[in-house]
């Protein structure tokens, strides 16, 4: 079987070689440049190098959607990659010869006879076509047959390395079981209300100590004091005029937005004829089958028949429109004719009509048009303001000669207040230095601004008195969590000693089954699943969550069933991927070793001569 695969691979490779050589115009290499180097005593054909480069250029060109130039190919490193690939192949050829691996003359002859380029009009091997084809690509018969013999032996060697590498099934089974394992856990939540002794009010000394121990929490980041002048479209709204004719035109274009007719959520089940449609409706009427079951019996899913929300005019026939819009919600009507044949319609909901008074609609349109006009007006002033700055005007000068507003901000990375809410401003503020001259820049909403750096403010602790309330809040939170943790640990010890049970703690309990290793459970803190999978059956654990703690008990551990299709699929995928990765690693290590043991000589002049044909 392996031999057949190797032969098929060789034939395919040789067909590509012949086509590639002919397509490239390899007759250019029929002169003195026939090889670009040697690996051991194996020559690297110039035509093989040209074909490898062209093939990789075509492949990347297809991915990019345009034909690569040779200069671009050089930027991508394609020529060097092609040489490295050919050296690897020839190194394997040397190794195959060294260990006595080869194919007989009969095998080579059979492969030659199968190559389409060498066949005549009768579909049989033609000696004349064979000689002509080799002559066109500048190859001697002996060289071609030698290369073909090497290619066959190399394929056998490669196949022996790759095909014999297989990860044991037990590995995939163990890993799939590990991934597919599920657990059941019961947990109760404790909050400050469950504390036997409430946390006391902190003293001044306790707050001072907490402030010092957690000073990083109360330290301002590095900031930049930035002065900026900004002009927004809102600043120019009083300067723009909106013509009533434009409002009227916009109203007509957007009429569907302001006058929405009644719509219905509809599903349509079409039948091949009226008789089958009536029979189906009869089953619905006598209760022997519901609509969902009827859909399923037709081999369809509900998504196949869902029409979404439709207006009466959207339905294909008047009869269908009249029937659907005369019916109540959660009913089935029909059969009525549709453009696809007799159909039953289920009405899942009714969306009432919505009409916006024309005066209100016109007001909205006026505001939209004014905002657009204001944005254009702002953009029109950008060039003049840039010229003023270039002429030496300051930000203060801009505010005197325009409606730009002068403002200041102590900006820091991550700030989202005011103008810092614009991501573009944050990017520019981060780059801003004292040496930068103000330039006009744009914001997403059409505003323009210019800014300067007045001062860099180093990181510094906030004064204790300014953050005293925050310190007290953080202290209380930390002490509450500490007390809850101690009380929870005490409860766990009592449960381990048999003095109480989780069900007797008075906590509201939740049981989660089928907890997965890599999943998440809604309403639980980060690390919940990891904590569950770090426990043994019957174990208890305390998990902190902001101002509350969870007491966990692991109830059961379940391995995936042997006949579970998902688990079997996972095993198969793991085995395939790991085996493929292992084979690739072994092959690369083998190639590296083989290449290190052979003498490689590359003729740069010959390579440059071939490269010149691409330019």
Q: What would the pLDDT profile of 82-118 be if each residue is shown by its tens digit?
A: 999 999 989 888 888 888 887 777 877 887 888 888 8
Is there a single domain that holds both residue 45 and residue 122? yes
Is there a single domain that holds both residue 106 and residue 144? yes
Mean local confidence (pLDDT), 316-332: 89
Is there a single domain that holds both residue 85 and residue 18? yes
For the stretch 296-311, pLDDT in tens is: 888 888 888 898 888 8
Token pair, residue 68, equals 């690569």
pLDDT confidence bin for 32, thresholds 50/70/90:
low
175 within a domain of the structure (yes/no): no
101 within a domain of the structure (yes/no): yes
Q: Looking at residue 334, what DSSP letter applies?
A: E
Is there a single domain that holds both residue 229 and residue 274? no
Q: How many residues does the chain have?
A: 615
Residue corresponding to tokens 């549709």: 338
Token pair, residue 364, equals 């909205």
Is there a single domain that holds both residue 236 and residue 381? yes
Helix H, strand E, coil C: the string for 178-223 is: HHHCEEEEEEEEECHHHCCCCCCCCCHHHHHHHHHHCHHHHEECCE
pLDDT confidence bin for 495, thresholds 50/70/90:
very high
Phi, psi of 576 (to 5 degrees): -65, -45
Side-chain half-sphere exposure of 5, counting CA atoms within 13 A: 10
Token pair, residue 425, equals 């401003």
Is there a single domain that holds both residue 537 and residue 399? no
Least confident of 134-138, 144-148, 280-284, 386-390: 134-138
Question: What is the pLDDT, as a whole number, of residue 8?
Answer: 39
Pick from 458, 481, 516: which residue ends a domain?
458
| Number of domains making up the chain | 4
Distance CA 487, CA 423 (A): 46
Question: What is the pLDDT, as a whole number, of residue 13?
Answer: 43
Is there a single domain that holds both residue 453 and residue 496? no
pLDDT of 250 strictly over 90:
no
Q: Looking at residue 488, what DSSP letter applies?
A: H
- Planar angle of CA 40, 41, 45, nearest 5 degrees: 100
For the stretch 401-451, pLDDT in tens is: 889 999 999 999 999 999 999 999 999 999 999 999 999 999 988 999 999
Is there a single domain that holds both residue 6 and residue 151? yes
Please state whether beta strands 509-516 and 223-231 pair in parallel, antiparallel, or not at all (unpaired): unpaired
Of 457, 605, 601, 604, residue with least CA distance to 40: 601
Number of other residues whose CB lies within 10 A of the CB of residue 207: 17
204 within a domain of the structure (yes/no): yes
Question: What is the pLDDT, as a whole number, of residue 470?
Answer: 96
pLDDT confidence bin for 570, thresholds 50/70/90:
confident
- CATH number, domain containing residue 523: 3.10.50
Side-chain half-sphere exposure of 336, counting CA atoms within 13 A: 19
- H-helix or E-strand containing 390? helix 358-390
Mean local confidence (pLDDT), 255-270: 86
Pick from 458, 491, 508: which residue ends a domain?
458
Is there a single domain that holds both residue 231 and residue 348? no
100 within a domain of the structure (yes/no): yes
Is there a single domain that holds both residue 10 and residue 141? yes
* SS3 at position 164: coil
Question: What is the pLDDT, as a whole number, of residue 141?
Answer: 79
Distance CA 183, CA 515 (A): 5
Average pLDDT, the chain: 87
588 within a domain of the structure (yes/no): no
Mean local confidence (pLDDT), 27-37: 64
In the chain, the percentage of residues whose pLDDT exceeds 70 is: 94
For the stretch 574-587, pLDDT in tens is: 888 888 888 888 88
Is there a single domain that holds both residue 26 and residue 147? yes
Pick from 292, 327, 352: which residue ends a domain?
352
Token pair, residue 59, equals 């492949």
Distance CA 51, CA 28 (A): 13
For the stretch 451-473, pLDDT in tens is: 999 999 999 999 999 999 999 99
Bridge partners, residue 511, by sequence: 186
Q: Which domain holds residue 203?
A: 182-213+469-558
Mean local confidence (pLDDT), 212-221: 95
Mean local confidence (pLDDT), 3-30: 41
Distance CA 48, CA 54 (A): 10
255 within a domain of the structure (yes/no): no
pLDDT of 561 strictly over 90:
no
Distance CA 196, CA 506 (A): 13
Distance CA 41, CA 38 (A): 6
Is there a single domain that holds both residue 296 and residue 426? no
Burial of 208 (0-12, 13-18, 19+ CB in 10 A): middle
Contact 195, 506 (CB under 8 A): no
pLDDT confidence bin for 119, thresholds 50/70/90:
confident
Distance CA 595, CA 598 (A): 6
Side-chain half-sphere exposure of 66, counting CA atoms within 13 A: 5
For the stretch 188-213, pLDDT in tens is: 999 999 999 999 999 999 999 999 99
566 within a domain of the structure (yes/no): no
- Planar angle of CA 14, 24, 90, nearest 5 degrees: 45
Question: What is the pLDDT, as a whole number, of residue 207?
Answer: 96
Side-chain half-sphere exposure of 451, counting CA atoms within 13 A: 31
Question: What is the pLDDT, as a whole number, of residue 137?
Answer: 67
Mean local confidence (pLDDT), 362-378: 88
Distance CA 386, CA 442 (A): 12
Question: What is the pLDDT, as a whole number, of residue 167?
Answer: 79
287 within a domain of the structure (yes/no): yes
pLDDT of 164 strictly over 90:
no
Side-chain half-sphere exposure of 304, counting CA atoms within 13 A: 9
Distance CA 381, CA 374 (A): 11
Question: What is the pLDDT, as a whole number, of residue 535?
Answer: 95
- CATH number, domain containing residue 146: 1.10.4030
Contact 330, 348 (CB under 8 A): yes
């Amino acid at each position: 079987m392996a031999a057949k695969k190797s032969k098929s691979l060789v034939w395919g490779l040789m067909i590509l070689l012949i086509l590639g050589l002919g397509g490239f115009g390899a007759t250019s290499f029929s002169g003195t440049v026939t090889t670009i180097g040697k690996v051991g005593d194996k020559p690297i054909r110039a035509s093989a190098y040209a074909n490898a480069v062209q093939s990789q250029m075509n492949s990347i060109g297809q991915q990019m959607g345009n034909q690569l130039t040779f200069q671009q190919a050089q930027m991508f490193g394609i020529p060097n990659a092609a040489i490295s690939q050919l050296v690897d192949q020839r190194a394997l050829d040397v190794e195959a010869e060294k260990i006595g691996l080869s194919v007989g003359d009969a095998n080579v002859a059979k492969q030659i006879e199968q190559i389409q380029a060498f066949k005549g009009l009768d579909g049989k091997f033609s000696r004349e076509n064979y000689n002509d084809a080799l002559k066109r690509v500048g190859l001697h018969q002996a060289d071609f047959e030698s290369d073909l013999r090497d290619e066959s032996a190399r394929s056998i060697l490669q196949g022996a390395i790759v095909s014999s590498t297989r990860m044991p099934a037990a590995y995939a089974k163990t890993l799939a079981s590990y991934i597919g394992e599920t657990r059941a856990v019961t947990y109760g939540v404790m909050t400050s209300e469950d504390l036997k002794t409430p946390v006391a009010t902190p003293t001044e000394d306790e707050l001072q100590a907490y402030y010092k121990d957690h000073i990083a929490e109360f330290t301002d980041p590095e900031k930049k004091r930035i002065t900026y002048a900004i002009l927004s479209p809102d600043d120019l709204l009083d300067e723009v005029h909106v013509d009533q004719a434009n409002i009227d035109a916009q109203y007509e274009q957007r009429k569907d937005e302001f006058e929405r007719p009644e719509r219905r959520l509809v599903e349509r089940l079409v039948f091949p004829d009226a008789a089958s449609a009536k029979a189906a409706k009869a089953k619905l009427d006598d209760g022997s089958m519901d609509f969902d079951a009827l859909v399923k019996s037709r081999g369809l899913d509900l998504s196949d028949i869902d029409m979404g929300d439709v207006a009466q005019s959207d339905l294909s026939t008047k009869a269908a429109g009249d029937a659907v819009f005369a019916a109540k919600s959660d009913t089935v009507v029909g059969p009525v004719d549709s453009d696809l044949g007799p159909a039953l319609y289920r009405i899942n909901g009714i969306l009432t009509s919505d009409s916006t008074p024309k005066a209100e609609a016109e007001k909205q349109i006026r505001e939209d048009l004014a905002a657009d006009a204001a944005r254009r007006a702002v953009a029109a002033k950008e060039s003049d303001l840039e010229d003023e700055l270039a002429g030496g005007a300051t930000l203060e000068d801009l505010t005197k000669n325009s409606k730009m507003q002068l403002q200041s901000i102590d900006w820091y990375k991550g700030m989202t207040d005011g103008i810092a809410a614009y991501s573009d401003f944050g990017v520019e503020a981060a780059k801003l230095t004292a040496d930068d001259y103000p330039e006009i820049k744009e914001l997403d909403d059409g505003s323009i601004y210019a800014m300067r750096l007045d001062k860099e403010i180093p990181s510094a602790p906030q004064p204790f008195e300014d953050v005293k309330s925050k310190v007290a809040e953080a202290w209380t939170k930390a002490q509450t969590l500490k007390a809850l943790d101690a009380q929870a640990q005490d409860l766990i010890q009592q449960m381990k000693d048999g003095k109480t049970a989780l069900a007797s703690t008075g906590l509201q309990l939740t049981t989660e089954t089928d907890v997965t290793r890599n999943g998440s459970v809604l309403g639980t803190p980060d690390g919940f699943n990891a904590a569950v999978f770090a426990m043994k059956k019957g174990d208890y654990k305390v998990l902190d969550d902001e101002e509350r703690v969870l007491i966990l008990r692991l109830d059961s551990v379940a391995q995936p069933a042997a006949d579970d299709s998902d688990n079997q699929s996972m095993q198969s995928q793991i085995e395939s991927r790991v085996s493929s990765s292992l084979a690739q690693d072994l092959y690369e290590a083998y190639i590296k070793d083989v290449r290190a043991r052979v003498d490689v000589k590359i003729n740069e002049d010959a390579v440059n001569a071939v490269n010149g044909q691409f330019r």
